[in-house]
Structure 1
């Protein structure tokens, strides 16, 4: 591929879209959270916050088919807050220093279990945050709005969660699947002529990626979509789809697949067929250790993804202070490996830092004040964030982090690039 386009930071038009944790995890300092009202205003403190502690609830898949990413998300947040607690806690804007208690409940990626977790959380936690999954977060979104419970920094990929009118108690954390697809498509268009095969998950996850990609390439005369196939989440193999796509002779595959093991097998099948296209991988299935290494991805001419954070398995960041602090906290406070298999550990850690930053700005211990401060962050950088990315929560319809940076696999890690090569 000869793709030439200056690297840019693309602004999202929507929102993005975590093993060894028990089904319920409660970490930090003991303290009895009081429940004395003030859910959406007033000076009275809200449930889940005292003068010395604040409690955050996480509903995420800690078991089942999405347990790896789901637990990693929770563990990233736990590692961040336990490290802050060990330093003495977080000093809030009104002057009180509090430790942060994290309670994680397993929803098994099941909407009904997620709703049950919400019912357990709503009167005892200050906010629900950082949980992975669109259908599971959707399951209690309306209830959270009705009850005035913050449901924030979620990992859904669903633009609904950053629409201020429709979701006043919500905010998604990371760039949308739509924006990831669009950013890749725009750079592909700028590079010349290409034949593209498409494989996508047959649900909103895959549809969002395709929406973004197709919006960028639809009027481009140099881009030809040779074939478009889907798969179902329970599928155990993508061999049939890869075989059919390989037969088209495409030089690029747009691979909107959410399961790491299916991405590995798809790349291996392509090699067995001697089909070596350039791959675009979603940010959540682009890990070097769990995917690219076992897949033998270095035989492909190019593997691209979208990034906004440093990765611990990249030699370029071996001595980076942020990465060293992150891996130390993860090792000390969770059962994750020193180099996590999934990027969701980094995402949970970064999202937790945004919560911590919000706490530091709060002048009242209320949920209303929390939402006001959360939605007022601009130009902030979390630990692990790549240069060029930032937290900006002030724009309606966008997640907390909406900038995306194109990256290319160099055989050992990912490099931010100025042009597709």
Structure 2
């Protein structure tokens, strides 16, 4: 029997090549927005309008992704970061989200800012089965994998933050008279709910006034005067940066001296405290999960050294003192971690799967003792905070790291 070994060897080699190439083809899985060369990431930010102070978050993320691309990208793919302005206006957010998903064909939406904007596209993104990942808002509802499996938060949720303030007030100031100023939308009401839940049945009577304001108001000075007239000795300030700075200034101007609790989303030294005046901001209490870039004690911290180097080389026009740059950097690093873990399976389902399996991930800017953890039933990546008090020109941490006990 004559066997053509050469032909057999060639056939075998061809079979091996075919099998390995079909294996390679089987291994690479893409949804709309991903190819061998790029990953399209959509983002919506208030670059204009009443919350424009947060626009720096999107600019920081763009600079971070450019740095990643300059180093060769993620598994050889460049990030195409498409970021639009919605002026913090929910109808505009809807328009931009549709454009990103239906015209730009992005693989996912990342880091879209604000509770009302994200609420406006919440159902749409889940109906489309497009990830609405690491949204830049602490609303408690983003942690609901059962009903909204395509949406995930990033920062600690608002209710846990105000519950921590409530615990502190009940312990340290059990006879306090509390005045609350809150933004009249989902974000403000979420914070308010955390406070009232945290105070419990007894504590609710401690609240002497709950005053709301609209983002369309040019100033909140009249609300501050009204709140002072209640005789409250504790002020809970649930406002976005522009209004937070106004409140701090006005309180000093009318010589009201309550214990002032300022929500974390407005604790930026660069965009709130400095414009309001260091002298007006002494002893304000807030809560933190990120290292404060304005605090020189982090200068030799390895994670912050990387952040400072990034700011100097890749985002020199950014202000290191602006807390938004730290947020943008931390969130962008988290997305890069998820996309890296996806390997060649860049499907929307796998992106959510990898995002929901982060274990003890530290993007370099979280406070010691705080890490990112998620699971298929826990879509709240960061759930720990530490109380901080403003002294001199920086925030000082006090007390222990507190774990929040608020689920979805």
The bucket for the TM-score relative to the shorter chain is 0.7 to 0.9
TM-score normalized with structure 1 length: 0.81
**C-alpha deviation, 1:391, in angstroms:** 0.7
Q: How many angstroms apart in 2 are the aligned matches of 1:338 and 1:280? A: 25
Q: Which runs of 5+ in 1 are unaligned?
A: 1-40, 92-96
Distance 1:98 1:223, change over 3 A: same
Q: What SS class does the counterpart of residue 353 from structure 2 fall into?
A: helix
Please list the CA deviations of residues 305-339 of structure 1 after superposition, one character each: whole Å capped at 9, or x if unmatched. 11111122222223434334324434544474332
**C-alpha deviation, 1:139, in angstroms:** 2.6
Contact 2:40 2:80 in 1 (8 A): yes
The reply on whether 1:354 has 2:334 as its aligned counterpart is yes
The reply on whether 1:209 has 2:191 as its aligned counterpart is yes
Match of 1:338 in 2: 319
Q: 1:138 aligns with which of 115, 119, 123?
A: 119
Distance 1:108 1:292, change over 3 A: closer
Q: How many positions carry a matched residue from both structures?
A: 372
Contact 1:375 1:393 in 2 (8 A): yes
Q: What SS class does the counterpart of residue 124 from structure 2 fall into?
A: helix
Q: What SS class does the counterpart of residue 405 from structure 1 fall into?
A: strand
Of structures 1 and 2, the larger Rg is shown by 2
Please list the CA deviations of residues 191-243 of structure 1 after superposition, one character each: whole Å capped at 9, or x if unmatched. 14322221111222211111111111133469722322222211222222222
Match of 1:78 in 2: 62
Q: 2:30 aligns with which of 45, 48, 52?
A: 45
Q: How many angstroms apart in 1 are the aligned matches of 2:85 and 2:204? A: 47
Q: How many angstroms apart in 2 are the aligned matches of 1:294 and 1:67? A: 15
Match of 2:177 in 1: 195
**C-alpha deviation, 1:384, in angstroms:** 0.7
Please list the CA deviations of residues 234-280 of structure 1 after superposition, one character each: whole Å capped at 9, or x if unmatched. 1222222222222333222111111x232222222222222111211
- State which drifts further: 320-329 or 183-192: 320-329
- State which drifts further: 213-222 or 406-415: 213-222
Q: How many angstroms apart in 2 are the aligned matches of 1:137 and 1:247? A: 36
Q: What SS class does the counterpart of residue 49 from structure 2 fall into?
A: coil
- State which drifts further: 236-245 or 215-224: 215-224
Match of 1:318 in 2: 299
**C-alpha deviation, 1:42, in angstroms:** 10
The reply on whether 1:294 has 2:272 as its aligned counterpart is no
The reply on whether 1:164 has 2:130 as its aligned counterpart is no
The reply on whether 1:245 has 2:227 as its aligned counterpart is yes
Q: How many angstroms apart in 2 are the aligned matches of 1:390 and 1:419? A: 15
Q: What SS class does the counterpart of residue 212 from structure 2 fall into?
A: strand
Matches within 5 A, 1:255-404: 255-258=237-240, 260-298=241-279, 302-334=283-315, 336-341=317-322, 343-363=323-343, 364-394=345-375, 396=377, 398-404=379-385
Distance 1:279 1:145, change over 3 A: same
Higher helix proportion (structure 1 or 2): 2
Match of 1:226 in 2: 208
**C-alpha deviation, 1:369, in angstroms:** 1.3
The reply on whether 1:66 has 2:51 as its aligned counterpart is yes
Match of 2:11 in 1: none
**C-alpha deviation, 1:46, in angstroms:** 1.0
Contact 2:268 2:321 in 1 (8 A): no
Distance 1:138 1:248, change over 3 A: closer
Match of 2:85 in 1: 106
Q: Which runs of 5+ in 2 are unaligned?
A: 1-25, 402-408
- Give the number of the structure with larger relative contact order, counting CA–CA contacts within 8 Å between residues 6 or more apart: 1
The reply on whether 1:151 has 2:136 as its aligned counterpart is no
Contact 2:153 2:381 in 1 (8 A): yes
- State which drifts further: 319-328 or 166-175: 319-328
Contact 1:315 1:412 in 2 (8 A): no
Please list the CA deviations of residues 137-189 of structure 1 after superposition, one character each: whole Å capped at 9, or x if unmatched. 23332222222211110023333322112211111111111111111111221
